Chains A and B, each alone.
Chain A
Amino acid sequence: MLKVQDLNFSFKNRPLFSGLSFSVSAGDLVRIAGPNGSGKSTLIALVTGLISGASGSIEFSGNSDFRSWTSWIAADANGLIPSLSAATNLQFWLELRQPAADPEQIRLVLSSWGLTGDWVQTKLPVSKFSTGMRRRLALARLELEDSKLWLLDEPLFGLDDAACKKFRESLKDHLAKGGAAVLVTHDERIVQSLEHRTIVLGDQAK
């Protein structure tokens, strides 16, 4: 699905990583670890193409637009439109990927993430949600997007134990169905029970 080869990146003349290589195939879970400032989020941003300036290569398999089969969760944002409701947000984002979104499926997935009730799902604007509720909504979108490759940067930020458990189940299902994930996290518990590889960044940080 994804092949990163000999990737080098410096930020203001400070090398974050050099000669970084790894590949991600169906069913793989790759954890990116390292201390703060070691370039974990930067690596995800480079893979998605949100930032450029690295040497080396990042290749996605297949001829189709990689964006149609990858989903992204950022560490510092959820990518939600604050003035719209949870259901309208999901409908909007899903319809950028597929011709029509199923409102019933949206309702079910929102409920499974603890965002229950008509008021929370369709009336309350996302701007009134708590940090944890917004993260749950972003993860509900991730689940509904049904992409092959998940690029996740600290996906559990702001979540309570119940939501963390739900995310682990969701991730497990995703991998079992042949999906793959690149996961940036400091939280060992997410990957504890799952087969995974860990790439530690920061060895070259000065």
Chain B
Amino acid sequence: MTPARQSPSWTRTVLNLLEQSLKIDFSAKERLITPVFFAAIILLLFSFALPEQPPEIRSRMMVAESLLAVFFAMQIALSRTFEAERNDRVFDHIRLSPIDSSAFIAAKLIHVLVVGGCVTLCTLVLALILQGQDFSLIGDPVVVAGCFLTLLGLSGLGVLLAAITLRAEGQQVLFPLLYFPLSVPVLLCSSEAIVHWLETQKWDETMRGWSVMLLAFDAIYLTMTLLMGAESVDSGP
């Protein structure tokens, strides 16, 4: 028996938890494929349902379709955030491991961001193909930053809600009921900011306004996730 054992650092714990989450995703590939597939279906439906757009509103339509596809695809990924831990009382074992609950939540957040990043990239590429837009858009730093901040907000909110509804009965109904309305501010700010940038290519007052609001919502959701998510993990049933 080791009398005084050194505990792993917070960062090491996050990396360990993140590594296992990614291993689980790669061992059951449908966990990654399902959201991407769902996003692709939404984009295809839009492209078949809507007539060809005039060039001046193409970028606006592309942003709207892409964000909507990412939003719904993320709902699938986020609602399964703690799915692996529900099996075989893994979650209870994690609770009884000497780790800081915030490390568990941070690992989940980064994991969702990685999955969301893959989904967003695939969605954007498909949206560009379907709308006949230039691929250079993916390399535009403002578009990339906009997408990242959108993902950050949606992931923060999603992990928070998944943690809060972890032990709730009817979690599958509760999660979207809360996720849909609360993600509106993030989607509104990001779509307005990205569309404004694509149409004007100017970092003006309007752009600053939407960006600051997006950052503010990200900050609110992330803070709430790290504080309330950890609290939710710690609390009993």
Chain A residues near B (Cβ < 8 Å): 48-52, 65, 67-70, 72, 74, 76-84, 88, 92-93, 95-99, 125, 146-148, 174, 177-179
Tell me which residues across on chain B come within 8 A of A174, comparing CB atoms: 1
Q: Within the complex, what minimum Cβ distance (angstroms) separates B95 from chain A?
A: 7
B94's closest neighbor in chain A, by CB? A96
Digitize B89-106: 1 where CB-to-A-CB distance is under 8 Å, 0 elsewhere: 110111111110000000
**CB atoms of A99 and B6 under 8 A apart:** yes
Segment of B12-20, B54-62, B112-120, B153-161 in the binding face: B12-20
Q: How many A-B residue pairs have CB under 8 A?
A: 97
Provide the residues of chain A in CB contact with B98, threshold 8 Å.
Answer: 65, 67-68, 96-97
* Chain A hits for B92, CB < 8 A: 50, 74, 77, 79
A69, A76, A148 pick with most chain B CB within 10 angstroms: A69
Residue of A nearest to B9 (CB): A99
CB-based contact A79/B1 at 8 Å: no
Inter-subunit contact B6/A83 (CB<8 Å): no
User: Distance in Å from the Cβ of B26 to the closest Cβ of chain A?
Assistant: 9
Docked complex Cα distance between A90 and B27 (Å): 17
A50 close to B94 (CB less than 8 A): no
Check A49–B8 contact: CB distance below 8 A.
no
Interface flags for B6-42 (1: CB within 8 Å of A; 0: not) read: 1111001100110110011001100000000000000
Q: A67: nearest residue on chain B (CB-CB)? A: B98
Contacts of A76 in B (CB 8 A): 89
**List of A residues within 8 angstroms of B17 by Cβ:** 96
Asked if B200 CB lies within 8 Å of chain A CBs, one says: no
B97 CB contact (under 8 Å) in A83, A96, A125:
A96
In the complex, what residues of A have CB within 8 A of residue B181's CB? Answer: none
Additional A-B contact list (6), CB under 8 Å, known A95-B12, A96-B99, A99-B12: A51-B236, A51-B237, A72-B96, A79-B90, A97-B97, A146-B1
Q: How far is the CA of A21 from the CA of B9 in the complex (A)?
A: 37
Looking at the complex, which one of A48, A83, A88 makes contact with B96 (CB distance below 8 Å)?
Answer: A48
Chain B residues, Cβ within 8 Å of A95 = 8, 12-13, 16
**Neighbouring A residues of B19 by C-beta, 8 Å:** 92
26 pairs from A and B in contact (CB 8 Å cutoff): A49-B96, A50-B92, A67-B96, A68-B5, A74-B89, A77-B88, A77-B89, A77-B92, A79-B93, A81-B84, A81-B88, A84-B20, A92-B16, A96-B8, A96-B16, A96-B98, A96-B99, A98-B8, A99-B6, A99-B7, A99-B8, A125-B27, A146-B1, A146-B2, A146-B5, A178-B1
